[in-house]
Structure 1
Amino acid sequence: MRQFPQKPPAATGAAQAPQPLLERPALRPAGARQVLRDVGRPYLSNGLIGFIFTASGPIAVTLAIGTVAGLTQGQLASWVFGILFSGGAATVIMSLLYRQPLGFAWSIPGTVLLGPSLEHLSFPEVVGAFFTSGALILALGVTGVIRRIMDVVPMPIVMAMVAAVFLRFGTDIVVSTQANPGIAGPMVAAFVVLSAVPALGRVLPPILGTVLAGCFAVAVSGQFTPGEAGPFLAAPVFTAPEFTWAAQLELMVPLALTVLFVQNGQGTAVLRAANHRPPVNVFAIASGAFSLLNAAFGAVSACVTGPTNALLTSSGSRERQYTAAVAYGVLALACAALAPTLTRLMVATPTEFVLTLGGIAMLRALQHAFVTAFATTYTLGSLVTFVVTLSGIDLFNIHAAIWGLMVGCTISRLLERADYSEPRRQEPVDHP
């Protein structure tokens, strides 16, 4: 097991130099030549899978919430354009700058929060909350408080929260195989065969083989059902915000907390577990800035995404994984303009195809989350965090993952004091 070199401790009595607010890249930003040297088939495959995953189920959730709220087709297309454009732009810029796979998307828990609110709030009021929550995220990022909070929470407890959130991706494989064996069965079989026979896996990466097997099964089964024709290109729509106390009190703080601690917390934990050093403060600042951009398109907040980053870091050399994020970001930017067409294609695909693909792609990340959470220390706090997060408790419109972290950390502090007296390993560690 190889650990990253630790910084030497400061001399006794000497003041330790404060960390800069904006984390500086450890390497020179990657240019076009560097990307072409580092890119390869596994990274392109991971980027493609990450994009398929992000642009399928999450978009379906977005469309479902927006349709129930009575949004027009133009507003829905503008929403999809905004989240794809901001996610792609943020991912490409950040990944090239830090030469790490830093994948951005949009807040699905935040989108789900909007469902009940849109039943009694107008869409302009909700857009007003988008603007203020983006400003709050940006302000908290500028203060540097987010990194300090992240550094206080032990990594096993954070990964227990991640394991609880990711668990449904694993169970989705079983449920989908039972519900639609003609689609899920060939996908599972392709993944197992390509993983079990390394010679085949080197020619066709297992995840890419899973996609191809699924596409073939969908085509043969005749389960691809495109809807009515509609606009080909997106036409972004600006919705003038309305700032009301009712919407601000109900949505502003929950949206900001969801982005900073549920979404960005997952993304940070996944990247650290994959031996990267994500810039936590810059994450918060970028999330706030791109959330304001999203709000201009009538779209929910931008964030760092845990599942997508798990896919982008699922294989290959750590130093070259940023190219998977660049591929993902470029695909998102290219498809932003085709948002209406992309949406129709994704919705026409059987649900089991998306669920099985996402579950198989997330298996290694789920395995690592459980190992990190329960293998060494803070195991009771990790278990409490896992159970509370998995319960789906929703008090004061605040996501269960936040309650899981708070309750788990409290129990751990009270009952696992010995673990806090030992040096904690917050730095990434390479596993054999």
Structure 2
Amino acid sequence: MPSHTSEQSTRGPLVAAAPSRSRLLERPEVRPAGLRDLFRDVAPQYVANGVIGLIFSASGPIAVTLAVGAAGGLSQAELASWVFGIFLSAGLATLVMSLLYRQPLGFAWSIPGTVLLGPSLQHLSFPEVVGTFFVSGLLILALGATGVVRRFMAAIPMPIVMAMVAAVFLRFGTDIVTSSQANPVIAGPMVLAFVVLSAVPVLGKYLPPVLGTLATGIIAVVASGQFALDSSPGPIFATPVFTAPEFTWAAQLELVVPLAITVLIVQNGQGVVVLRAAEHKPPVNVFAIISGSFSIVNAAFGAVSACVSGPTNALLTSSGDKHRQYTGAVVYGMLSLVCALLAPTLTQYMLATPEAFILALGGLAMFKALQQAFVAAFSTSFTIGALVTFVVTISDMNLLNIHAAFWGILFGYILSRLMERHDHASSPQAP
């Protein structure tokens, strides 16, 4: 099997030069994985990574989606269709891409994009918003098809983007503290299990820390009686509905560009950096094309744009041999398809789980990725640009309805060009 050693140093640009850089569509370096490969490479720790990735997607992000949709006046049928669409695209895109490239390429949906819809749904009709989903999907697809995304991202030094990732991931680290303080009965044993399994390699070899944390959390939830399932039965299976889009200039001008930037720079940018930090070689242009294509699919179900997920990929690459981590993504993709079918039931069960369980599990699973982000951002060069990026991103500044992570990268890059000329002069630039 060809080596997957990263060609990207922390001093280089986000996308390293490669022999196939002139090609629009990045080709897989190995043959696609078949069933025999999958059964040979899968192991409990990769299954655990996939399950935890699914738990992450099906908890907090779903709660955000439901909150935004409900505040915007969406019906239960429209909300269920939205959840169906985002899980369907996440599952299909992840399965196809992970098996094709034999890498853990996890797709989800844009949470920042969902959040920015909140104010818009207060004065735009839902059909108008759906119209922007279609147009932003086409814009993302077009930008990916031209190759401009890879060229744009190649100009950004990795430490600056890793600083953005560190700022976005920081809340997962603080979630460990807040959940332990708010609900020590649940979070305390989970933290203890993670520390013990990480500190004692012999134990961690037989029971990976994240898997042990998950098992300990489930036992703590059951033993404490904090699983609060709503007694009123709801629908079991999702029934997708089609919302006819309306195309108005007001809606398009307000949402299309912010949605596209959020997917291509904020979300996909995180995913690319996380995967490169794990020594994978993500296909940047193909990511954009797949994100745009599945964003159009999502729009047909009244759902927000599809994207590569930074946190999900951090979870999928949190442990194990990098050549086998794609199996965790396959597990995540298959479970996402099940969740699409059982979207109402899944949502009901996940919302019945104590918040401390979700926060502690997500934070501990992301602990290694958070550490890597800080090391890559501040250990070598471009440290001024990285610091500006980190500060602006963590400030949650919102200009022109565009997420703070984009402004963090923009301001960090500009000031880095002005104040760190030596670093830029000595850094290899991808063409």
Q: Pick the TM interval, shorter chain.
A: over 0.9
1:17 positional shift: 8.3
RMSD over equivalenced CA pairs, Å: 1.5
Task: Identify the residue that residue 232 of structure 1 maps to in structure 2.
Answer: 236
1:4 positional shift: 5.1
Q: What one-letter code is carried by the residue in structure 2 that aligns with 1:23? A: E
Task: Identify the residue that residue 15 of structure 2 maps to in structure 1.
Answer: none
1:374 positional shift: 0.4
Q: Does 1:338 align with 2:342?
A: yes
Task: Identify the residue that residue 93 of structure 1 maps to in structure 2.
Answer: 96
Q: Is the 8 A contact 1:106 1:301 kept in 2?
A: yes
In the TM superposition, 1:238-253 aligns within 5 A as 238-253=242-257
Q: Does 1:204 align with 2:207?
A: yes
In the TM superposition, 1:264-343 aligns within 5 A as 264-343=268-347
Which of 131, 149, 152 is the aligned partner of 2:152? 149
Which of 220, 225, 230 is the aligned partner of 2:223? 220
Which of 130, 133, 138 is the aligned partner of 1:135? 138
Task: Identify the residue that residue 16 of structure 2 maps to in structure 1.
Answer: none
Whole-angstrom CA distance in 1 between matches of 2:116 and 2:314: 24
Whole-angstrom CA distance in 1 between matches of 2:341 and 2:365: 27
Whole-angstrom CA distance in 1 between matches of 2:218 and 2:5: 41
Task: Identify the residue that residue 348 of structure 1 maps to in structure 2.
Answer: 352
1:18 positional shift: 5.9
Specify the SS of the correspondent of 2:220. helix
1:424 positional shift: 3.8
Q: What one-letter code is carried by the residue in structure 1 that aligns with 2:45? A: P
Which of 58, 75, 82 is the aligned partner of 1:79? 82
Change (3 A) 1:425 1:181: farther
State the TM-score, normalizing by the size of structure 2: 0.94
Whole-angstrom CA distance in 1 between matches of 2:53 and 2:59: 10
Task: Encode CA deviations 1:165-188: one digit per residue, 9 max, x unaligned.
Answer: 000000011011111111111111
Q: Count the aligned residue pairs.
A: 416
Task: Identify the residue that residue 115 of structure 1 maps to in structure 2.
Answer: 118
Whole-angstrom CA distance in 2 between matches of 1:340 and 1:371: 40
Q: Does 1:21 align with 2:29?
A: no
Which of 57, 67, 84 is the aligned partner of 1:54? 57
Change (3 A) 1:180 1:297: same
Specify the SS of the correspondent of 1:194. helix
Displaced runs of 4 or more, over 4 A = 2-6
Change (3 A) 1:369 1:424: farther
Specify the SS of the correspondent of 1:105. strand
Change (3 A) 1:188 1:250: same
Task: Identify the residue that residue 388 of structure 1 maps to in structure 2.
Answer: 392
Whole-angstrom CA distance in 2 between matches of 1:266 and 1:17: 22
Whole-angstrom CA distance in 1 between matches of 2:273 and 2:379: 16
Task: Encode CA deviations 1:277-308: one digit per residue, 9 max, x unaligned.
Answer: 10000000000000000000110000000000
Task: Encode CA deviations 1:70-126: one digit per residue, 9 max, x unaligned.
Answer: 211111111111100100100000001111110000000000001111111111111
Task: Encode CA deviations 1:146-172: one digit per residue, 9 max, x unaligned.
Answer: 000111100010000000000000001
1:200 positional shift: 2.0
Whole-angstrom CA distance in 1 between matches of 2:343 and 2:288: 26
Q: Is the 8 A contact 2:5 2:280 kept in 1?
A: no
Q: Does 1:413 align with 2:417?
A: yes
Q: Which runs of 5+ in 1 are unaligned?
A: 7-15, 427-432
1:54 positional shift: 1.1
Q: Is the 8 A contact 1:154 1:424 kept in 2?
A: no
Q: Which runs of 5+ in 2 are unaligned?
A: 9-18
Q: Is the 8 A contact 2:164 2:390 kept in 1?
A: yes
Change (3 A) 1:275 1:323: same
Specify the SS of the correspondent of 2:223. helix
1:41 positional shift: 1.5
Q: What one-letter code is carried by the residue in structure 1 that aligns with 2:73? A: G
Change (3 A) 1:3 1:139: closer
Which stretch shows the higher mean deviation, 215-224 or 24-33?
A: 215-224
1:202 positional shift: 2.0
Which of 27, 31, 36 is the aligned partner of 2:34? 31
Q: Percent identity?
A: 69
Task: Encode CA deviations 1:205-259: one digit per residue, 9 max, x unaligned.
Answer: 1111111111111112222111221101111111111111111111111000000
Specify the SS of the correspondent of 2:113. helix
State the TM-score, normalizing by the size of structure 1: 0.94
Specify the SS of the correspondent of 2:62. helix
Whole-angstrom CA distance in 2 between matches of 1:365 and 1:225: 31
Whole-angstrom CA distance in 2 between matches of 1:395 and 1:376: 30
Specify the SS of the correspondent of 2:323. helix
1:423 positional shift: 3.5
